[in-house]
Each structure stands twice: as structure tokens, then as C-alpha cells.
A and B are shown apart, each in its own frame.
Chain A
Amino acid sequence: MRHRSLLIITTAVAAGSLTLSACGSRGDDSGGKGGDKSTVTIGLDAPLTGDLSALGQGIKNSADLAVKTANKKQEVDGVTFKLQALDDAAQPASGQQNANKLVADDKVVGAVGPLNSNVGQSMQKVFDKAGMVEVSPANTAPELTQGTDWRTGKKQRPFKTYFRTSTTDAIQGPYAAQYMYNEKKLKKVYVIDDKKTYGKGLAATFKEEFEDLGGKVVGTDHVDPKEKDFTAVANKVAKAKPDFVYYGGEYPAGAPLADQAKKAGLKGPVVGGDALFSAEYVKLAKKNSEGDIASSVGAPLETLDSAKEFTKNYEAAGYKLPYEAYGGYAYDATWSIIQAVKAVAEKNDGKLPEDMNDTREQVVEAMQDVKFDGVSGKVGFDEFGDTTNKQLSLYEVKDGEHKPVKTGTFEEN
């Protein structure tokens, strides 16, 4: 018996190490001297599984579409793009691991992602050290580009390799505050957040603006997004009788919170940021999501000319899942890397530098000047790496669907 189990273990170990060594010697090198074509990889990190997978899959599919379009159009002469998508399950630690993996691969020229601001925080440093560009389609926490002191006006860019195609919470929260106060005429709010980078920041900027306008915050609370039971908080909200609730957080907790608050007796809507702008939100909160409002970055894709082609191609490509809230931004993020690579190739007589480190360095430089008409509107980056497109929209749930109610650019009061 002993011998047999020993044999099994040895076989397993041997088989395992053989498989591993096979992975190591992956020999599909098509770049270099074989022909004029070289292949570079664009990395992608997003939650492909877990609660936020609906958003993550939309990002992945849209980036995939951008890569395929670039290859079909031969956007960069002599360069074929490949997408390598990694799953972070919305965990900062997994995101950092993925970043390390992408950086270590000398085929990877830049990365798209991630979805969550706290995951972005854990990845920034890795990319910065390697001098590799990272373009997030969805991170909205202001400190990622403007440093931790952004609130006091001392803006300082922490990482020059980090860019994003979505606008920040610094304007998303206030935009919703202005709409609720000025147009919906709702003056009493209960503010709840999930204590995560994104939710906390969003709730804080909303609260500040709402109070400046003259609105009253009748209560605040925090919830643990890992749970589903918010009845105690919901009862508190109902007792405080606010006109509406502002929730800084994501839909997996936001939907049950809205559901339970309304069951407990909340009369007004639940308002939140782009992470509530998902069909999943409506599905999970069911009828109780009616009238709820979510802000999102950019204009509704359906209304933009620049997006029509994207939505058409997305449908034609036959992806199983919709592009969701960040599809357009993911497409633009991927496209901006492709444009930066194009600029680098043009600068070097139509070829990318031999050494990937040089390529990466030049791509980071080129990214600063990238400008094109993207799916989400005009794409370009300011001195912090933030998008120059400051457009925002608000969506209200009507008949079980998010319908755009207002779109515009944010104006300081």
C-alpha cells in the first residue's frame, strides 16, 4: 500500500512539473526576424468572476472588440495585438498579483483595468515600477490621480504611468447632489457608504456639495458590503424619514439595501454612483428599484454618434453578455493604448523598439498626448492622467430599466 501511494504521488509530481515546464517554453514567438509582423499583448485586469462579474465581463468583451478592430483595420502597421485577460475577483491582492504577472511578461505593452478603485490602488505601484502604462476604464476615486490631499486643493499626481478614461467621484457625487437638490427639489438625505475607497469618497463628495447647496443630511451610516442583512440600518433610515437615500457603494450590497430600506418604509429613491448603474441592480432589488437614480460617467452611449458603431459592432461580435456601464470606457482605454503604440511605432520608423522596456517607456510618454474621438466622446488626458472629458449622466429606473434623465458637464457652483 505504501509503495503504491508513493508511486501515485511521484507520478503526480512528475506530470505536474512536465506540464509546468511546457508552459515555460511556450515557443510561439512570431515577432522578431520571422517577418515584419510583431505581436504585442495588451493586458487586462477586471473582476471576471464574483459579484461584480457583470461589469467585469463587459469590460473584457469591449477591450477584446477594440483589439480585434485594431487588428482588422491594421491600425498599427506591422503590429498585431493580443488581449490577455486576468481575473481579480474585485480583490486588491489578486489585482496586484495580476499586475506582477503582466509586468513580468515581456510581450505585454500596457494594461487596461481594473474596475475597482481599491484594486487600482494596489496595482498602480507595480506598473509604475515597471514603467508600464495602465489605463483604467472605471476607477473613479480622485486620489488615484490627484494624490491623497486632493480635497485640500493640493493636487499631486502620484504615478505617471496611470491614466483613466472615466471621470472621478470628485464630480460624480456633486453632480448628483445638484440634480437632487435643484431639480428634484428633495432637501433631506440619508447618506450611507460601504467604507471602501470608492464608496466612501463618493458619499463624501456628495454630502459636501449637498450641504453647501443648503440640503440637510438627516443621518449617516456605514454598511459591510459582504453582508446581505441591512434591516437594522433600513429601519433607522425609515425612522429618520429622509426624502431620499444616497448610497456610496456597489450594486451587490446597494440593491438589497435599497430593497430592504423601501420595505422598511423609505418613501424616496435610493441614489448612487456608476457602480449602481447595472442591470443587475434592477434584477436584485426588483420592484423596489423603481425610481432609483444612478449617476454614471460620460453620456449615454445610445445617444452618442461615436458610440453607434461600437454598439453595432458589439452586437455583431455576438458576445454573450452586455457591455454594461464601462464597456465604452474599456474600448476607449484599450484604443488609447493602441494609439500610443502607434505613435511609438511611427516615431521609430514604423517599428517598435527591440527592447520591451524601451517600448513601454515610450508608450507611457506617448499616452500623455493621445487624442481621438472615442466611444465615450473625445478622449484625451490632462496633467494628472485624468480624462479631459468631464461629461456625466443620470439614469433613473423606470419599468425595470435604467433610463437616462439628464446628461451634461459638471459646473462648479
Chain B
Amino acid sequence: MNDLPQQLASGLILGAMYGLIAIGYTMVYGIVQLINFAHGEIVMFGAFGGLTAWLLLPQGTALALALPVMLVMAVGVSVLVGIGAERFAYRPLRNAPRLAPLITAIGLSIMLQQLIWSFYPDAKKARTFPQFSGDSVELLGANIQRGELFLLIAAPVCMIALGFFVAKTRTGRAMQATSQDPDTAKLMGINTDRIIVTAFAIGAAFGGVAAIAYGLKYGQIDFKIGFILGLKAFTAAVLGGIGNIYGAMVGGVVLGLAESLATAYIEHIPGMELFGGGAWKNVWAFVLLILVLLVRPQGLLGERIADRA
């Protein structure tokens, strides 16, 4: 079992990426009770934004130098798409029945995919993303790719920054208030429209960071990556307790570890030989989700709240 550290590390890295994306779902849901199914595509746009930055930089630029530019571009594109989605797809439906924005979100996600498919050069097949050269780094018995180090640094930095923002700044506290009760918050003089846009923007910014991490990790991106990423991140958000920022991170990590460990070890359990391996990882991830929700319907870190009347 000496590959356990390796599988744990892989699961943790994958989970950190899911978690970063899940934060976008969770924040938006926490404030407007909307499941933004287009969030995966916002991440996908970020990835293409990062790639564009790389292509625009002079050839031969070192990746370490290019990375800040790519990051800024990815986050910028994601935030723009996120704010645009809020302004044009969701705000007009703010007071509509809950189902309407959900359907809009699905429509928006398909539209965003097709935009890249139609207009981004050569995006009909996978595009290669720049990667760090050099050997992997050994850490506590596990090999970590250089590209993955980015994620291991970025995820905690983002979390701490977000935690500080929500707890200490005026806007952060206004966000907490809005998420508890938007109507009362409005009566207290909080500009809820601005708060909602902020939530979208922060979620999208984290998505942009995750997009760069995705590109560096896998070395290729395509117009479809948002779908599975979005689904996994949504699962992570629900697993951790949707609406809870730390829950999103915990849910992501749990999901990543579950996928990694299930692929590696389930087939060694006697009688389960047929159900292990790579093709089954999503099955086990979702079995885990169902089990957790059966025991704790509010998710791992979620609070039990009475349904709004």
C-alpha cells in the first residue's frame, strides 16, 4: 500500500480544484438561492482567457513570468462573464419563480459552450495549454507535478483571503447579512444588488484561478471542460453544505479523495473486483454524495435551516 500517499496527494489536488470552483456555486446560492449551472462554463471561459494571454505574449516567454498575466486575464474574463451573466440572465428573473433562473442557467451554459466552439480559433478540438517543464517534486512520499504546486499554493491563499474578506470587511459583513435575510438587509441600508454582483464576481474570480490550475494540471483545455467541472463542483458544494464557504472547500477535498481512493482501492475489496477502476470513479463519488445526504441532508458543514415560508 505504499502508493497511499500518492493517491491521497492526487485526491487532495483534485479536491482543491473542485473546491475553488464550488465556492462560486456556494456564494451565489447562499445569497440568492440560485444554482448557477453556467458556473462551469465561466471557469471554461477563464481557461480560454488564460490561453489567449499565453498566445498573445511573445513566444519564448518563460511560463513563470507569463503566469501572472495569464492569471489576471483568466480571472478578468471569468469575472466579466460572471457579472454579465448576473446582469443579463439572472437579474431580470430575480423575482420570477425559482425554476425560471435555473432553466436560464442551463441555457446560458450551453450558449457559452457554443460561443467558444464557434468563435475561438481551433476550439473544436482540445487546445494545448502551456506546462511547466521539469521533474515532479517529492513531498511526503508523493510526487507532485510542478503545475499542481500552483493549485496547492493558490487554494489556501484564496480561502484565507476570502475568509478575511467575509469576516472583516464591510462588504463581507453586508454579504453575510444579505445571505441571512435579503429583505431585512435591504431595510438596513445594504445595497443588495451590489452585494449579489460581488458574490458573482468573487465566485467567478475563484473560477478563473481554478481554470489556470486546470490548464497547468492537464496541459489541455476544450470547450466542454466546464460541464463535468461544474457538475463536480456543484456536488462538492452540496456535499459540504451549500451556502457554506468552508463547506465548499471541504466538500471538494472529500470528493477528490473519494474519486482517487475509490479508483485505487475498491477493486481490492473481495467481491468488488468488478466495480473498481477508473470507469467507476464517478459512481463512487455520487454514492458518497447520496450517503452523506441521507445522514446529513444539510451537508457536512451546512446548518439545518427551517424552510422559508
Query: Given A233-B263, A286-B131, are A221 and B277 also a contact pair (CB < 8 Å)?
Result: yes
Residues of B within 8 A of A20 (CB): none
Residues of B within 8 A of A52 (CB): 125
CB-nearest residue of chain A relative to B10?
Answer: A231
Report yes or no: A227 in contact with B228, Cβ–Cβ below 8 A.
yes
Report which of B133, B218, B259 forms a contact with A232, defined as CB distance below 8 A. B259
Is B128's CB within 8 Å of the partner chain A? yes
Chain A nearest CB from B18 CB (Å) reads: 10
Report which of A51, A230, A259, A286 forms a contact with B278, defined as CB distance below 8 A. A230
Q: Which of B11, B13, B218, B225 has the most CB of A within 10 A?
A: B218
Report yes or no: B124 in contact with A232, Cβ–Cβ below 8 A.
no
Query: Given A221-B278, A223-B278, A228-B218, are A54 and B264 also a contact pair (CB < 8 Å)?
Result: no
Report yes or no: B277 in contact with A233, Cβ–Cβ below 8 A.
yes
Residues of B within 8 A of A226 (CB): 228
Is A201's CB within 8 Å of the partner chain B? no
Residues of A within 8 A of B222 (CB): 51
Is B145's CB within 8 Å of the partner chain A? yes
Is A267's CB within 8 Å of the partner chain B? no
Chain A nearest CB from B188 CB (Å) reads: 37
Question: CA separation between A2 and B264, bound complex, in Å?
Answer: 61
Is A239's CB within 8 Å of the partner chain B? yes
Report yes or no: A229 in contact with B218, Cβ–Cβ below 8 A.
yes
Is A406's CB within 8 Å of the partner chain B? no
Report yes or no: A222 in contact with B278, Cβ–Cβ below 8 A.
yes
Is A16's CB within 8 Å of the partner chain B? no
Total A-B pairs, Cβ < 8 A:
89
Chain B nearest CB from A246 CB (Å) reads: 15
Report yes or no: A284 in contact with B278, Cβ–Cβ below 8 A.
no
Interface string of B111-138 (1 = CB under 8 A from A): 0000001000000111010010100100
Number of B residues near A (Cβ < 8 Å) is 33
Question: CA separation between A252 and B128, bound complex, in Å?
Answer: 12
Question: CA separation between A233 and B259, bound complex, in Å?
Answer: 11
Question: CA separation between A222 and B225, bound complex, in Å?
Answer: 20
Q: Which of B6, B131, B143, B228 has the most CB of A within 10 A?
A: B6
Query: Given A235-B3, A235-B264, A259-B219, are A224 and B124 also a contact pair (CB < 8 Å)?
Result: no
Among A137-174, those with CB < 8 Å from B are: none
Report yes or no: B277 in contact with A284, Cβ–Cβ below 8 A.
no
Report yes or no: A284 in contact with B279, Cβ–Cβ below 8 A.
no
CB-nearest residue of chain B relative to A260?
Answer: B218
Chain A nearest CB from B295 CB (Å) reads: 25
Is A265's CB within 8 Å of the partner chain B? yes
Question: CA separation between A397 and B129, bound complex, in Å?
Answer: 21
Question: CA separation between A50 and B143, bound complex, in Å?
Answer: 33
Is A280's CB within 8 Å of the partner chain B? yes
Interface string of B236-266 (1 = CB under 8 A from A): 0000000000000000000000011001100
Report which of B143, B220, B228, B277 forms a contact with A256, defined as CB distance below 8 A. B220
Among A222-269, those with CB < 8 Å from B are: 222-224, 226-233, 235-236, 238-239, 252, 255-256, 259-260, 263-265
Report yes or no: B14 in contact with A231, Cβ–Cβ below 8 A.
yes
Query: Given A50-B125, A284-B128, A284-B220, are A235 and B10 also a contact pair (CB < 8 Å)?
Result: yes
Query: Given A229-B218, A231-B14, are A280 and B125 also a contact pair (CB < 8 Å)?
Result: yes
Report yes or no: B143 in contact with A284, Cβ–Cβ below 8 A.
no
Query: Given A51-B222, A286-B128, are A235 and B7 also a contact pair (CB < 8 Å)?
Result: yes
Report yes or no: A264 in contact with B279, Cβ–Cβ below 8 A.
no
Report yes or no: A53 in contact with B125, Cβ–Cβ below 8 A.
yes
Is B39's CB within 8 Å of the partner chain A? no
Residues of B within 8 A of A230 (CB): 278
Question: CA separation between A229 and B11, bound complex, in Å?
Answer: 11
Report which of B7, B10, B218, B277 forms a contact with A222, defined as CB distance below 8 A. B277
Is A100's CB within 8 Å of the partner chain B? no
CB-nearest residue of chain B relative to A230?
Answer: B278
Report yes or no: B220 in contact with A232, Cβ–Cβ below 8 A.
no
Chain B nearest CB from A306 CB (Å) reads: 30
Residues of B within 8 A of A280 (CB): 125-126
Report which of B3, B117, B136 forms a contact with A263, defined as CB distance below 8 A. B136
Report yes or no: B218 in contact with A256, Cβ–Cβ below 8 A.
yes
Report yes or no: B131 in contact with A232, Cβ–Cβ below 8 A.
no
Is B282's CB within 8 Å of the partner chain A? yes
Residues of A within 8 A of B7 (CB): 232, 235
Residues of B within 8 A of A256 (CB): 218-220
Q: Which of A52, A228, A256, A286 has the most CB of B within 10 A?
A: A228
Chain A nearest CB from B230 CB (Å) reads: 14
Residues of B within 8 A of A53 (CB): 124-125
Report yes or no: A284 in contact with B263, Cβ–Cβ below 8 A.
no
Report yes or no: B279 in contact with A232, Cβ–Cβ below 8 A.
no
Question: CA separation between A233 and B281, bound complex, in Å?
Answer: 10
Chain A nearest CB from B222 CB (Å) reads: 7
Is A347's CB within 8 Å of the partner chain B? no
Question: CA separation between A231 and B126, bound complex, in Å?
Answer: 18
Question: CA separation between A252 and B220, bound complex, in Å?
Answer: 10
Report yes or no: A223 in contact with B279, Cβ–Cβ below 8 A.
yes
Residues of B within 8 A of A195 (CB): 279
Question: CA separation between A245 and B71, bound complex, in Å?
Answer: 35
Report yes or no: A232 in contact with B219, Cβ–Cβ below 8 A.
no
Is A30's CB within 8 Å of the partner chain B? no
Question: CA separation between A51 and B221, bound complex, in Å?
Answer: 11
Question: CA separation between A259 and B129, bound complex, in Å?
Answer: 13
Residues of B within 8 A of A185 (CB): none
Chain A nearest CB from B262 CB (Å) reads: 8
Is A49's CB within 8 Å of the partner chain B? yes
Is A283's CB within 8 Å of the partner chain B? yes
Residues of A within 8 A of B264 (CB): 232, 235-236
Measured CB to CB, the residues of A under 8 A from B are 49-54, 192, 195, 220-224, 226-233, 235-236, 238-239, 252, 255-256, 259-260, 263-265, 280, 283-284, 286-287
Can you list 12 A-B contacts (CB < 8 A)? A53-B125, A54-B125, A220-B277, A221-B279, A222-B279, A232-B260, A235-B6, A239-B3, A239-B6, A255-B220, A280-B126, A286-B131
Other A-B contacts than A53-B124, A264-B143, 6 sampled, CB-CB below 8 A, are A49-B124, A51-B126, A232-B11, A236-B264, A264-B6, A283-B128
Measured CB to CB, the residues of B under 8 A from A are 2-3, 6-7, 10-11, 13-14, 117, 124-126, 128, 131, 133, 136, 143, 145, 218-220, 222, 225, 228, 259-260, 263-264, 277-279, 281-282
Nearest 7 pairs of A and B residues by beta carbon:
A232-B263, A222-B279, A233-B278, A223-B278, A239-B3, A231-B10, A221-B277
